[in-house]
């Protein structure tokens, strides 16, 4: 499990260490980790050249100390001081003693630039002098390593309202921050500096966490005890949504899937193991309902959604179901059974009254709290917020899942996990993890080079994705 911390939480955790350690020890500890990461980027340190672009805060001190350590290992080192009178005094003195040079601009022969302009207390875009420096660095094609976060990028949201640094690598200390999920950080390395941080309420699942959550049948299980997923999806116009959603539920677990809708014949022709009927009234007993993909928004569809939400069963609502729900939010408010909504940005805007802004965590939390349900906001970074404030982030790492019908597949997986008894936040987060891995596998099959994929291919790679985890 990876946890993400606010800037205030990191500062609070640093305070007792700063009080107990000799002056400067914590900074040098962080800078040594930074220098080690930079050395890994350089490959060979001796004979290479680095340039630190230094602001007036502690990040500037980290950058100067890291450049000092690299200089002591044989690298050439220079520094651009954006505010010379406020550069970290002790770090600058050590840098000069080691043979580091203070320069006006980044030398053309520089192999790597260290971004030490602003840290987690900074806000807003790069100021003109810093923006000019990094524009020249970008034009020269020199790679950048950012200290803690890319300067000009918001620590809490990853938003970049103006000029900002675009690093190849970001090295952060003590704990990850939301920017490392959302922001333009390149790769991220976390350096342990000894902070005592409790788990936070914003986290991301790793493969081991997903494996622990995923329902695996035991020797006494049968098709009913593993969960029966009910699917109301698709229509005469959009039978593919029913096929994708139902097929994903079949692939996700080893229980049973029942389909209710007008695409029953098409579903069975693709998935003969599914029990299909034309109406939810004759579907039989299920342990969860998936409602909405390709379903339409007419009165019949609305009645089916109301039927599902009036049961005491877990329900996931997607696509057309969300459109219906946005006009009648009262049908979900106050519901005690697990409920998951999976909007993209447009559907979110209809539900919330405005599109998600820069702070996707806060916006998703507000909607979850207002409706009393779990909300999965789709995107390259998927945000899963629960009414109690807990948030799961899923960083896809690529955009291959952004293809028509992909959400239908995700809905089917979530529905199957809900039927198996997985808690709604865990079900949504674990499904998003497996879904993004399946998208990546589908884009790279049959070789390592990625190529355009499709929802059908993502569906076909759900089981390989699960096998790689379980």
| Annotated binding-site residue? 344 | yes
Residue 405 assigned ligand-binding role: no
What would the pLDDT profile of 247-297 be if each residue is shown by its tens digit? 999 999 989 999 999 999 999 999 999 999 999 999 999 999 999 999 999
Residue 435, annotated as binding a ligand: no
Can you tell me the mean pLDDT for 421-439?
97
Does 218 lie in the same domain as 119?
no
CA distance 52 to 317: 50
Share of the chain above pLDDT 70, in %: 100
40 annotated as a binding-site residue: no
Q: Give yes or no: residues 8 and 146 share one domain.
A: yes
Q: Is 358 marked within a binding site? A: no
CATH number of residue 337's parent domain:
3.40.1190.20
What mean pLDDT do residues 196-215 have? 97
**Number of neighbouring beta carbons within 10 Å of residue 184:** 18
Q: Whole domain around residue 431: which residue ranges?
A: 207-469
Contact (CB, 8 A) for 91 and 61: yes
* Segment 439-465 mean pLDDT: 93
Could you tell me whether strands 49-54 and 112-116 are parallel, antiparallel, or unpaired per DSSP bridges?
A: parallel
Tens digit of each residue's pLDDT (9 = 90 or more) over 87-126: 999 999 999 999 999 999 999 999 999 999 999 988 899 9
Question: Which residues are CB-contacts of 358 (< 8 A; sequence separation ≥ 6)?
Answer: 154, 157, 158, 159
Identify the helix (H) or strand (E) that includes residue 216: none
Domain boundary among 200, 222, 246: 200
Is residue 135 part of an annotated ligand binding site?
Answer: no
Give Cα 6 distance to the centre of its chain: 16
User: Is 261 annotated in some ligand binding site?
Assistant: no
Indicate if 190 and 249 belong to the same structural domain. Answer: no
> Does residue 397 have a pLDDT over 80?
no
Determine whether the annotation assigns residue 61 to a binding site. Answer: yes
Mark whether 20 and 132 lie in a shared domain. yes
Q: How many CB atoms lie within 10 A of CB 196?
A: 8
Do 26 and 70 lie in one domain? The reply is yes
What is the pLDDT averaged over residues 151-166?
Answer: 96
> CA 247, 249, 251: angle at the middle one, nearest 5?
70
The reply, when asked if residue 380 is annotated as ligand binding, is: yes
Three-state SS at 462: helix
Mean residue pLDDT of the chain comes to: 96
Split into its structural domains, the chain has a count of 2
Q: Do residues 365 and 450 share a domain? A: yes
9 and 92 in a single domain? The answer is: yes
* Same domain assignment for residues 453 and 352: yes
The residue among 200, 230, 257 that closes a domain is 200
Q: What is the CATH number of the domain that holds 99?
A: 3.40.50.10260
378 is in an annotated binding site: yes
Q: What is the pLDDT of residue 194?
A: 96
What is the tens place of the pLDDT at every residue in 32-43? 999 999 999 999
408 is in an annotated binding site: yes
pLDDT over 90 (residue 176): yes
Rounded to 5 degrees, φ, ψ at 439 are -60, -40
Q: Tell me what pLDDT residue 57 has.
A: 85
Domain stop point among 200, 235, 268:
200
Residue 162, annotated ligand binder?
no
Tokens 């979110």: give the residue.
348
pTM: 0.95
Residues 58 and 177 in one domain: yes
Q: Is 90 exceeded by the pLDDT of residue 66?
A: yes
Token pair belonging to 153: 């990028």
Residues in the chain: 470
Least confident of 221-225, 316-320, 423-427: 221-225
Q: Is 241 annotated among the ligand-binding residues?
A: yes
Same domain, 191 and 212: no
Domain match, 148 and 211 both: no
Do 183 and 212 fall within a single domain?
no
Condensed to tens digits (0 to 9), the pLDDT of residues 311-322 reads 999 999 999 999
CB 341 within 8 A of CB 325: yes
Is residue 122 part of an annotated ligand binding site?
yes
Grade residue 341 by pLDDT with cuts at 50, 70 and 90: very high
Residues β-bridged to residue 276: 259
């Amino acid at each position: 499990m990876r946890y993400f911390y606010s800037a205030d939480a990191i500062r609070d955790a640093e305070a007792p260490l700063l009080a107990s350690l000799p002056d400067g020890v914590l900074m040098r500890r962080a800078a040594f980790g930074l220098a080690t990461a930079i050395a890994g980027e350089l490959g060979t340190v001796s004979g290479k050249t680095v340039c630190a672009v230094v602001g007036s805060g502690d990040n500037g001190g980290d950058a100067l100390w890291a450049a000092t350590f690299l200089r002591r290992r044989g690298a050439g080192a220079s520094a651009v001081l954006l505010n010379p009178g406020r550069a970290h005094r002790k770090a600058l003195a050590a840098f000069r003693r080691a043979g580091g040079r203070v320069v006006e601009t980044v030398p053309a022969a520089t192999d790597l630039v260290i971004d030490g302009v602003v840290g987690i207390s900074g806000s807003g875009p790069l100021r003109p002098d810093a923006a000019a420096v990094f524009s020249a660095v970008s034009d020269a094609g020199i790679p950048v390593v950012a200290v803690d976060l890319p300067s000009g990028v918001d620590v809490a949201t990853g938003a970049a309202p103006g000029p900002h640094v675009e690093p190849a690598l970001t090295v952060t200390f003590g704990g990850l921050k939301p920017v490392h999920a959302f922001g333009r950080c390149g790769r991220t390395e976390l350096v342990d500096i000894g902070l005592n941080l409790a788990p936070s309420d914003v986290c991301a699942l790793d493969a081991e966490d997903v494996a622990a959550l995923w329902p695996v049948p035991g020797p006494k299980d049968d098709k009913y005890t593993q969960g029966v997923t009910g699917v109301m999806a698709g229509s005469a116009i959009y039978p593919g949504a029913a096929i994708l959603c139902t097929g994903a539920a079949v692939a996700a677990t080893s229980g049973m899937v029942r389909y209710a809708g007008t695409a029953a014949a098409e579903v069975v022709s693709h998935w003969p193991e599914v029990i299909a009927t034309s109406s939810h009234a004759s579907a039989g007993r299920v342990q969860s309902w998936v409602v909405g993909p390709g379903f339409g928004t007419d009165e019949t569809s609305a009645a089916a959604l109301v039927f599902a939400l009036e049961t005491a069963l877990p329900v996931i609502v997607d696509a057309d179901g969300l459109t219906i729900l946005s006009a009648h939010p009262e049908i979900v408010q106050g519901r005690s059974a697990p409920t998951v909504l999976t909007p993209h940005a447009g559907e979110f805007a209809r539900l919330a009254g405005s599109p998600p802004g820069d702070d996707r965590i806060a916006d998703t939390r507000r909607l979850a709290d207002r409706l009393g349900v779990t909300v999965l906001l789709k995107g390259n970074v998927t945000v899963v917020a629960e009414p109690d404030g807990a948030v799961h982030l899923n960083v896809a790492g690529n955009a291959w899942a952004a293809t028509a019908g992909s959400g239908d597949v995700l809905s089917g997986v979530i529905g199957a996990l809900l039927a198996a008894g997985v808690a709604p936040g865990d079900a949504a987060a674990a499904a998003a993890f497996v879904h993004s891995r399946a998208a990546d596998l589908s884009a790279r099959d049959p070789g390592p080079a990625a190529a355009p994929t499709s929802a059908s291919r993502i569906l076909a790679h759900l089981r390989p994705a699960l096998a790689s985890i379980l």
